[in-house]
C-alpha cells in the first residue's frame, strides 16, 4: 500500500511522530500530504529552541495549539539578559536583530490560538509584562504558565494574573531577577489556589542603573 492510500487519521498519526522539518519535507512530495501538513489538528504541540525557528515556515499556528514552549539556552541568546548599560556595541547589535522576535510571535499566538493550555518561556530576555498580559487576555483557557530567566518580567506580570488568568492553576517565575518578595506575597494573598513557584527570583539582584544605585546609596548614608 502506498502512503497516500492511508486515510486522513492514519496520516495525521504518522505525521505526529516527525519533527517540524521532516513534516515540511514530506508535505512537499504531494498535494494530499500537504493537506495533512496544513491540518490544524496536527499542531497541538510546538517546541522551539532558537530565535531562527520562530521565523521558519515549517509549522502552523492554529486554534488546535494547546502546548507551546520557547526555550533559548545558547550563549548568543543569553546576551539578551544582560543589562543594557553593560552591553558592548556588538552585543547590542545582536540583541537588536531579534529583540521583538518572541513578542511578535506571541502576538500571533494571541490572535490565532485561543485554546492554548500551557506556555513555557525560558531565556526570552525581551519578553515584557505587556506580552504576558495580552496572552492572558487572549487565551482564557491557559492553565499553566512557566517563565524562567526572563529579565524584563516584573511584578506587573504577577498582578495581571488575578485580573486575567482565571483558568490558571500553575505559575512558575524562576530566576526572574526583577520579581520581588512583595510581589510574590501579594500574589499569594490574591491567588491562594494557584500553585506558585519562584525559585531564586526574589533572591537575585534586581536591575538598577548604576546612577540610580548611587543615588540610593547616598540616601541610605544620609539616613
pLDDT tens-digit map of 194-215? 999 999 888 876 666 555 555 5
**What is the helix (H) or strand (E) element at residue 144, kind and residue range?**
strand 144-148
pTM of the model: 0.84
User: How much is the CA Rg of the chain, to the nearest whole Å?
Assistant: 21
Predicted confidence at residue 44, as pLDDT, reads: 97
pLDDT at res. 96: 67
Question: What distance in Å separates the CA atoms of residue 148 and residue 175, rounded to the nearest whole number?
Answer: 6
| CATH code of the region 44-221 | 3.80.10
Given a contact cutoff of 8 angstroms between Cβ atoms, the answer to whether 68 and 102 are in contact is no
For domain 1-42, the CATH architecture is: Up-down Bundle (1.20)
In tens, the pLDDT along 136-154 reads: 999 999 999 999 999 899 9
Structure confidence by residue, pLDDT tens digits, 122-134: 988 889 999 999 9
Give CATH 3.80.10 domain extents, the chain.
44-221
| Number of residues written out for the chain | 223
Q: How far apart are the C-alpha atoms of 14 and 134, rounded to whole Å? A: 35
Maximum mean pLDDT: which of 52-56, 71-75, 76-80, 130-134: 130-134
Amino acid at each position: 500500500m502506498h502512503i497516500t492510500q492511508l486515510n486522513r487519521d492514519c496520516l495525521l498519526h504518522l505525521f505526529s511522530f516527525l519533527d517540524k522539518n521532516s513534516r515540511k519535507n514530506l508535505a512537499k512530495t504531494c498535494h494530499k500530504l500537504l493537506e495533512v501538513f496544513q491540518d490544524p489538528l496536527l499542531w497541538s504541540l510546538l517546541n522551539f529552541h532558537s530565535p531562527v525557528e520562530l521565523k521558519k515556515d515549517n509549522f502552523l499556528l492554529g486554534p488546535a495549539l494547546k502546548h507551546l514552549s520557547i526555550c533559548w539556552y545558547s550563549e548568543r541568546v543569553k546576551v539578551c539578559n544582560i543589562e543594557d548599560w553593560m552591553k558592548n556595541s556588538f552585543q547590542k547589535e545582536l540583541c537588536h536583530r531579534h529583540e521583538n522576535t518572541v513578542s511578535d510571535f506571541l502576538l500571533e499566538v494571541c490572535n490565532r490560538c485561543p485554546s492554548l493550555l500551557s506556555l513555557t518561556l525560558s531565556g526570552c530576555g525581551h519578553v515584557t509584562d505587556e506580552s504576558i498580559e495580552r496572552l492572558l487576555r487572549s487565551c482564557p483557557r491557559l492553565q499553566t504558565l512557566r517563565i524562567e530567566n526572563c529579565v524584563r518580567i516584573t511584578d506587573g506580570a504577577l498582578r495581571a494574573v488575578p485580573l486575567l488568568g482565571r483558568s490558571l492553576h500553575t505559575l512558575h517565575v524562576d530566576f526572574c531577577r526583577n520579581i520581588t518578595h512583595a510581589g510574590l506575597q501579594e500574589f499569594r494573598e490574591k491567588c491562594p489556589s494557584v500553585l506558585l513557584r519562584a525559585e531564586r527570583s526574589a533572591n537575585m539582584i534586581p536591575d538598577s542603573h548604576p546612577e540610580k544605585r548611587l543615588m540610593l546609596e547616598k540616601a541610605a548614608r544620609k539616613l
